[in-house]
Chain A
Amino acid sequence: MRYVDEFRQAHLARGLAGAIAREADPERQYRLMEFCGGHTHAIFRHGIQDLMPENVHFLHGPGCPVCVLPMGRVDHAIQLVERHDVILCTYGDMLRVPGRGRGTLLKIKAEGGDVRMVYSTLDALRIARDNPRREVVFFAIGFETTAPATAVALSQARAEGLENFSVFCNHVLTPAAMRGLLASSSGPVSIDGFLGPAHVSAIIGSRPYEFVAREFRRPVVIAGFEPLDIMQSVFMLVRQLNAGRHEVENEYTRVVTREGNAKAQALVSEVFGVRHAFEWRGLGQVPRSALRIKEGYGAHDAERRFTVFSRGNPPDARGCECPSILRGVKKPTDCKLFGRGCSPDHPIGACMVSSEGACAAYWRYRRFRRPSVVAESPAVL
């Protein structure tokens, strides 16, 4: 596969692993947070941690839009189906995310709710055109990467006068979340540097992260999602840290520029404004961290169009360490609930919800004791 295989070559990985090992100072620890779920997934899927020296640690950030969506929002989506009888269109990995009372869209669908998995906002528009007598709501979720596609759908719906189409907007913003993390008042933050978002940065560019270097004195390296991208970026971060530098560097130059995609940015700001604050699972209320649909598109805003009963967001479960895991202070295996009640089949905390969450990735890809399996001898770690 072209443009993929080139970035997965084992011999280059060995060379980079050697370079990182030589560069890393054995006297210090390197705690590097990959912000994006895509990076977390790649790190585990390719076994990149095994190629790192012992003092280089990956901390798995809140960059999985499914994981950080508060339960109350899932409840709203469920209500749209149950009370307002809408056709709810959603991306696949939203289906399994539990709201309060463990209800999921998959369960609602099983009980007869009209929930449809789509791959593109254009599919949702088509469903709206094909069902003129039904209300069709697109459950919009994702970072800056998916927001332009939602913006296109909204402007197309308005242009066509597609009155039965609306969007339940849950788009969230990456730089604001990074600020939320670093300025966290709920405890210490133990992050030495960031592997910066890949696809998000293709849209917004590398400039929006410059405050991380300037105000918080942490280096950021924008990193592609392929394993060699990640290793090269780790090398760049280690070098910055050793030199005492904190700059925004770009490893993913084949896709990302400093200014980003101006056309996509213009589309997004035409349709969306920024919410005063938005709640993130694990992080709490984060100021100016999410998008809302502007007045001019209000007719297609599901939050204006339908009344939903809000009970707020339930607090994270007792004993759940997601907030500390997301700040890089704890590992999934430090959590008492991990594997004891909290698993990908029955997620309790945010990080277990999607395969991109730190806990789910640990569960799926790293070796540890699973209580459900009969044990005779301790597993070799």
Chain B
Amino acid sequence: MSAAGKGFSPHLDIRRGCVDMTHGSGARAMTQLIEELFMKHFDNDLLRQANDQAAFEVERGRMVMSTDAHVVTPLFFPGGDIGSLAVHGTINDVAMSGARPLYLSAAFILEEGFPLAGLERIVISMARAAASAGVPVVTGDTKVVEKGKGDGVFIITTGVGMVPEGVDIGGGRARPGDVILVNGTLGDHGVAVMSCRENLSFETTIESDSAALHGLVADMVAAAPGIRCLRDPTRGGLASTLNELARQSRTGMILREDAIPVRPQVAAACELLGVDVLNVANEGKLVCICGPQSAGCLLEVMKAHPLGRDAAIIGEVVKDAAGFVEMRTAFGGSRVVDWPAGEPLPRIC
């Protein structure tokens, strides 16, 4: 995001204007878009240097880096939009290593004809999310594709962070006897997004849970540095995440259905659509696996944080090299919790 400091005249017509091919051409229009929209809202010292890269000092230690491409329909949904999602998603991916996220980069792929007002709304939301998380966007890029070749806006964000000393969190570290926790209710994001898809509008008060989890993670890591696994159950929901962790760790897992927190409205929407809430996406949730001795203390720490109020112990890790995730059903039976097959699709009857 390099730009010179001179003003442009006339200014971008944000209210009525649209993205056009010149905004990605490297011409003056592109610089103007960067200055009057991106730099204006993302403003910070590193960005203001206006170089093609951001240069920053780092402490000694272990760094982590993660990248995430964000596409979502619709772009604006109850409780968030693609902008806040792009910030939270990458911060969370960095934080799931136990790291403190430091900086973000953002690349925008814009479709010709996309209203500048919508773009500004997204950028403001993104800037707010970054500011409130304390993780600035320090470099970026913009490309424009012809009409019909994009879906309005795609945002790719990359984040870097530092892992505190003594913390070693990874998907392959779960051991039999470990305890599985989540920080709150499942399925909120997926149901909020589904509720406003074009061909499926139903009324709901559910909002996306989209949130940056690094503050919660910092508290958790400080209280229990021996946390073994952290992962955010986004696409594919809790079912996918636990199957990934079980497979990586070559262990099995047993969940208790009646311990898994789900809002009644979300449960009802899933029932109506015939989708399994364990397969529904989350954007402000994490799964934590820790040794049994730390579980009680961790649960208290999580519950004390605003993003962990509904935290719960939902199951345990068991010996099973085949990596099955099983669940004791609330009804009194048991079943396997498998990977979802593709996107959840509603059933006919």
Contact = CB atoms under 8 A, between A and B. Distances in A.
Interface of A: 1, 4, 8, 10, 13-14, 17, 36-38, 41, 44-51, 65-66, 91-96, 106, 116-119, 123, 141-143, 145-146, 199-200, 227, 344-345, 354-356, 363-367, 369-370, 373-377, 379-380
A92 B271 CA distance: 15
A28 B349 CA distance: 33
B contact face: mostly helix, strand, loop, or mixed: loop
A37 B264 CA distance: 25
B349 A367 contact: no
A119 B200 contact: yes
Nearest to A44: B335
A146 B349 contact: yes
Given A37-B349, A367-B326, A344 B335 contact: no
Interface string B309-349: 00000000000111110101111111110100110011111
A327 B123 CA distance: 59
B29 interface: no
Given A4-B271, A117-B199, A363 B338 contact: yes
A123 B331 contact: no
B324 A47 contact: no
A201 to B, nearest CB: 12
Nearest first, the 5 closest Cβ-Cβ pairs linking A and B are A47-B333, A92-B345, A376-B321, A50-B333, A46-B331
Which of B320, B324, B336 lies at the interface centre, i.e. has the most chain A CB atoms within 10 A of its CB? B336
A93 B329 contact: no
Given A1-B268, A344-B341, A373-B322, A142 B348 contact: yes
Contacts of B347: 37, 41, 92-93, 354-356
Contacts of A41: 347
B335 A365 contact: yes
Nearest to B321: A376
24 contacts: A4-B271, A10-B332, A36-B349, A45-B276, A45-B335, A46-B329, A46-B331, A47-B332, A49-B333, A50-B332, A92-B347, A117-B345, A119-B346, A142-B348, A142-B349, A345-B341, A354-B347, A365-B336, A367-B324, A367-B326, A369-B322, A376-B250, A377-B322, A379-B322
A22 B87 CA distance: 59
B247 interface: yes
B267 interface: yes
Contact of B331 (A10, A37, A365): A10
Contact of A141 (B332, B338, B348): B348
Interface string B263-287: 0100110010000100000000000
Nearest to B268: A1
A95 B328 CA distance: 31
A38 B199 contact: no
Contacts of A364: 336, 338
Given A356-B347, A366-B335, A370-B322, 14 more contacts: A1-B268, A10-B332, A13-B332, A17-B332, A38-B349, A46-B330, A48-B331, A66-B348, A93-B346, A93-B347, A94-B348, A119-B199, A146-B348, A363-B338
Interface in B233-268: 247, 250, 258, 264, 267-268
Contacts of A116: 199
Contacts of B328: 47
Contacts of B267: 1
Contacts of A367: 324, 326, 336
A281 to B, nearest CB: 16
A4 B272 CA distance: 11
A123 B199 contact: yes
A51 B321 CA distance: 27
A118 B276 CA distance: 19
A44 B346 CA distance: 17
A375 B264 contact: no
A47 B335 contact: yes
B333 A92 contact: no
A48 B338 CA distance: 18
A140 to B, nearest CB: 11
Nearest to A17: B332
Contacts of B335: 44-47, 365-366
Contacts of B324: 367, 379
A65 B348 contact: yes
Which of B199, B276, B331, B336 lies at the interface centre, i.e. has the most chain A CB atoms within 10 A of its CB? B331
Given A123-B199, A375-B321, A93 B334 contact: no
Contacts of A227: 331
Interface in B27-65: none
Given A10-B330, A92-B347, A377 B271 contact: no
A199 B349 contact: yes
B329 A47 contact: yes
Given A1-B268, A373-B322, A96 B331 contact: no
A51 B338 contact: no
Contact of B323 (A17, A92, A373): A373
B27 to A, nearest CB: 33
Interface string B204-237: 0000000000000000000000000000000000
Contacts of B341: 96, 344-345, 355
A116 B197 CA distance: 13
